[in-house]
Chain A
Amino acid sequence: MEGRVARAGRALWLAGTGLIFVFLIAPVLVIVPLSFNAEPYFTFTEGMLRLDPEAWSLRWYEQVAFSGEWRGALVNSVVIGLGAALLATALGTLAAIGLTSPGMPARRVVTGLLISPMVIPIVIAAAGMFFFYSDLGLDRTHFGLILAHAALGSPFVVIAVTATLSGYDRNLTRAAESLGAGPLTVFRRIQLPLIAPGVLSGALFAFAVSFDEVVVVLFMGGLDQRTIPRQMWAGIREEISPAILAVATFLIALAVALLIVVERLRKRAR
């Protein structure tokens, strides 16, 4: 009797958690197959369920691939994302080394400041940036967006690098210094190789943040700075065609690729 109750409870528990996992992964499960729909609808047609090859097609992928708008958006996203990631990584890595050094004054305040781009609601930041960068003549420029996105991505670099630095043995620095190495040499030859996985995953995070950012682009970007998320935003607000799902599938593949690299790096960091 008791065994049956326990078994029933266990089955319920498994079903429940199983459903939550389905909930987590459902968007991916739905978007990828629907992007191959031959019809402009968002439901699985009978043909698709019968695995009729006629019901599946690459037409939306073709449409996106041949669209100058999407190609331009990809170029913009990559240019802005790389620029922002580069800047955020350079500044963030240095800052992480500074933050974790023993003599750091006002650590909590400085940490709060550096983390703030992650915490402050994006609309407030975007509104402020719109005025500020317009006054500087940097609105509707790639450079302005690179600066803005670098600020948004930098906390992720700081966090990722700090995490690897916490396992860093300071005696290595002292040993190198006692052997006559200057601070630059110590950084280049000893610290950097050790924290490289953290730096790289921070850079990937910063790139991903920029690659996914739409609110600042909405406020500050123009026709010439249309990024992929900006194009998607317009598409979702106007007419959701399965072409958007094709782009979404591409972005999911990119996310999985980034995720795998970051996980590899994390393992190496340990």
Chain B
Amino acid sequence: MRRRLRKPALALPLVAFVLVSFIAPILLMLARGVHQPVVRDALPETLAILDAWDGLGVPEEAAFAAAAEELRAADEARLAARIGGRVNRVRSGLRTVIVAGARTGADGAGAGSARERLLAADPAWGDPATWRALRTAGERFTLRNYLNALDLDRGADGAVVRQPEERRVYVPLLLRTLGVSAAVTVLCLLLGYPVAHVIARAPARRARWLLLAVLVPFWTSLLVRTTAWIVLLQQRGVINDLLVWLGLVDDAARLTLVYNMTGTLIAMTHVLLPFMVLPIYSVMQGIPPRFMRAAESLGATPAQAFRRVYWPLTLPGVGAGALLVFILAIGYYITPALVGGSGGQLFSNMIAFHMETSLNWGLAAALGGILLAVVGALYVLYERTVGGENLRLG
């Protein structure tokens, strides 16, 4: 018994390593999507007063006093702008209001009541909406990021409503990403199936050379392949030059093949094609040619033999390849970022945008959570149909 247990235990170091170095960072980031303690920790008293407030008129004097005092302290700790940023996400334009409030508080009590001072700093402090935004930003646990990630928001009465039309971005983008992934999968299947077939039927020597055509791109750096597609697809790139030289395209009307969705589709199909070819190829290798010959000798036309015999036999490979390509395509980042321009960006690029540029980390985490759920569901499907341990690497 002890000896039996010893060997499965060998998996433990890697399990622990992956949990700590990979899974824990992801889980902690996802937590940022629902857990936002910064404002609550900096303004505990103000928020306690606001929790009891009905949200209708301007809050009582005590709220102003607490806000002025706590914001002043936050400013000294260099937190005022960060709080302003959080509130600004709830209601645009409040960053400066909060920061101005924090700076006035520092002038001391001599300049009138807290209410007067804050109102002097910015009249927006007299607007109940400012206080409601502050209260919302102060929720320690919130579903707001997930709502926003689904193009929803809470109205003034707390009911869930759809975002105004011009701000509905994420759901269309997710659908677009799914659509692109599906298109890439279909393209890969259309291109990959014949390739796998040719290699599987070729004599061993030639098959090895043909396989190289699949494996060399597979091993070549992703950035190299993406660069290559920019070079090929540019307005003055190789393909356009060739088309102009052949007289198929007018020099003045060169095709726009890159920095748009076309570029993303072409480059992603190329990058993911080996992931389709290899599983199909390995299944085809196991199909004896005599099956087809038998079908044809029994009177089937080649088309029938293909449809009734060959295709069903290759389905496991097709399924494995298609699912793998689809899963990898959904999370694609580098290729769209480099060749996609503004029209060819995918869901991952939006996550990166909120991570790096808008710094709305809570929203980035929520978007990440949604993407992860989609990928997770697809992986479970893959695991059920193909088996996780059957993942092959060419």
Chain A residues within 8 Å of B, Cβ to Cβ: 13, 16-17, 20-21, 23-28, 30-31, 34, 41-44, 87, 91-92, 94-95, 97-99, 101-105, 107-108, 110-125, 127-133, 147-148, 150-152, 154-156, 158-160, 162-163, 183, 205, 208, 211-212, 214-215, 219, 229, 232-233, 236-237, 240, 244-245, 248, 251-252, 255-256, 258-259, 263
Contact = CB atoms under 8 A, between A and B. Distances in A.
Interface stretch (B19-27, B71-79, B93-101, B121-129): B19-27
A contacts with B: majority SS? helix
A215 B333 contact: yes
A252 B220 CA distance: 6
11 contacts: A27-B217, A27-B224, A31-B228, A99-B389, A124-B331, A125-B26, A127-B29, A130-B355, A212-B222, A219-B355, A229-B221
B248 interface: no
B334 A215 contact: yes
Interface in B25-42: 25-30, 32
A104 to B, nearest CB: 4
B contacts with A: majority SS? helix
A73 to B, nearest CB: 12
A143 to B, nearest CB: 11
Contacts of B229: 27
A131 B29 contact: yes
B237 A43 contact: yes
Interface of B: 3-15, 17-19, 21-30, 32, 191, 194-195, 198, 210, 212-217, 219-232, 234, 236-238, 241, 270, 273, 327, 330-334, 338, 348-349, 351-352, 355-356, 361, 364-365, 368, 371-372, 375, 379, 383, 388-389, 391-393
Question: Which of B22, B229, B349, B372 counts the most chain A CB atoms within 10 A?
Answer: B22
Contacts, number: 268
A95 B375 contact: no
Contacts of A107: 389
Nearest to B19: A113
A116 B11 CA distance: 15
A251 B273 CA distance: 20
Contacts of B241: 43-44
A41 B379 CA distance: 43
A198 B241 CA distance: 45
B355 A248 contact: no
Contacts of B228: 26-28, 30-31, 248
B209 to A, nearest CB: 10
Interchain residue pairs A-B with the least CB separation, the first 4? A121-B331, A27-B228, A98-B11, A98-B10
B197 to A, nearest CB: 8
Contacts of B352: 123, 127
A98 B222 CA distance: 32
A152 B375 CA distance: 17
A122 B330 CA distance: 11
A248 B224 contact: yes
A255 B7 contact: no
A128 B6 contact: no
A71 B37 CA distance: 44
B24 to A, nearest CB: 7
Nearest to A249: B224
Given A115-B388, A116-B22, A24 B213 contact: yes
Contacts of A115: 388, 391
B234 A42 contact: yes
B383 A236 contact: no
A29 B383 CA distance: 37
Contacts of B6: 183
Given A98-B7, A116-B23, A131-B28, 6 more contacts: A30-B232, A31-B231, A95-B11, A101-B7, A151-B17, A248-B228
Contacts of B331: 120-124
A240 B219 contact: no
Contacts of B13: 91, 94-95
B355 A121 contact: no
Nearest to A204: B219
B379 A154 contact: no
Contacts of A23: 191, 270
Given A42-B236, A91-B17, A103-B7, A125 B25 contact: yes
A98 B389 CA distance: 13
A114 B215 contact: no
A122 B336 CA distance: 13
Question: Which of A94, A116, A121, A236 counts the most chain B CB atoms within 10 A?
Answer: A121
A42 B231 contact: yes
A104 B223 contact: no
B25 A131 contact: yes
Contact of A98 (B3, B9, B227): B9
B28 A132 contact: yes
A205 to B, nearest CB: 7
Contacts of A219: 355-356
A229 B223 contact: yes
Contacts of B215: 259, 263
Question: Which of B32, B224, B225 counts the most chain A CB atoms within 10 A?
Answer: B224
A196 to B, nearest CB: 17
Given A30-B231, A229-B221, A248-B221, A119 B194 contact: no
A151 B237 contact: no
Contacts of B273: 24
A154 B224 CA distance: 23
B15 A95 contact: yes
A112 to B, nearest CB: 5
Contacts of A258: 219
Contacts of B17: 87, 91, 150-151, 154
